[in-house]
Amino acid sequence: MSKTHEIKAQSRKDEGKGASRRLRRAAFVPAVVYGAGQPPESIQIEHNTILLAAKHEWFFSSVLDLNVDGKVQKVLVRDWQKHPFKLQMMHMDFLRINENEAVRVNVPLHFLNQESSPAGKTSGVVISHNLTEVEVSCLPKDLPEFIELDLADLKPGDIIHLSQLKLPANVEIAALHQGADHDIAVVTANTVKEEVEEAPADAEAAPAAAAPAKKDDKK
């Protein structure tokens, strides 16, 4: 179960591009909350609050307590827009959730003990993380902030699939409900063979052809 993380916000009535520009100049992020059978609500959040929270994985993968003018709502981050080159969040969308209904969320994968594994200690072995996050389905109360994958026993040639991940109780991987074809590789440990270039045949023949010429010179 993930920890509780609260984000404080304020309701707003001004909408439109002009209002959003004014908010950004005042160091606020315009945002919208929607879902759970309730009308959308326009809100604003201090930019520093978002900037600090966005540095953590949990901000994008956990159920948040969104405190709007003292009223707390359970939400997930559903969309966000960043400035093309500035360190600035332009807009955010939050989805209200029903605590009694399952949610589908992308959760980060944490890889453990890779360097100490047999594959990690073998030269010429490339360990690839084909996925860095996985979509899970569960009730909000069971949503993990991340899923750990212990690679301590990973050997050269091994492949770890989605179905081999150890999940917390009551958590499922959404893709596995779509059939065996969706049980894709999460980690692979492939041995890379170095190709040795052979010398061209005519290059080897050249010294042999030159040898008789030296003998003729001695006569």
What is the C-alpha R_g of the chain? 29
Whether residue 22 sits in one domain with residue 74: yes
* Mean local confidence (pLDDT), 31-60: 94
Whether residue 27 sits in one domain with residue 57: yes
Distance separating alpha carbons of residues 137 and 189, to the nearest angstrom: 28
Residue 96 has pLDDT above 90, yes or no: yes
* Mean local confidence (pLDDT), 52-62: 93
* Mean local confidence (pLDDT), 38-62: 94
Domain membership flag for residue 66: yes
Domain membership flag for residue 142: yes
Q: Three-state SS for 133?
A: strand
The one-letter amino acid at 199: A
Instruction: Report the domain count for the chain.
Output: 2
Whether residue 151 sits in one domain with residue 126: yes
Query: Residue 125 belongs to what domain range?
Result: 103-191
Domain membership flag for residue 11: yes
Band of residue 206 on the pLDDT scale cut at 50, 70, 90? low
Residue 128 has pLDDT above 90, yes or no: yes
Whether residue 80 sits in one domain with residue 45: yes
Whether residue 173 sits in one domain with residue 107: yes
Tally of CB atoms within 10 A around 87: 9
pTM score, whole prediction = 0.78
Domain membership flag for residue 130: yes
Boundary of a domain, candidates 52, 72, 96: 96
Domain membership flag for residue 144: yes
Band of residue 216 on the pLDDT scale cut at 50, 70, 90? low
Distance of CA 140 to the CA centre of its chain: 20
CATH number of the domain that residue 118 is part of: 2.170.120.20
Q: What angle do CA 85, 87, 89 make, to 5 degrees?
A: 100
Q: Which residues in 162-190 are b (16+ Cβ under 10 Å) and which e?
A: beebeeeeebebbbbeeeeeeeeebbbbe
Domain membership flag for residue 215: no
CATH number of the domain that residue 76 is part of: 2.40.240.10
Task: Give bridge partners of residue 5 from the DSSP assignment.
Answer: 64
First-last CA distance in the chain: 93
Boundary of a domain, candidates 49, 79, 96: 96
Average pLDDT over the chain, rounded to an integer: 88
Band of residue 210 on the pLDDT scale cut at 50, 70, 90? low
Boundary of a domain, candidates 37, 68, 96: 96
Domain membership flag for residue 201: no
* Mean local confidence (pLDDT), 93-105: 94
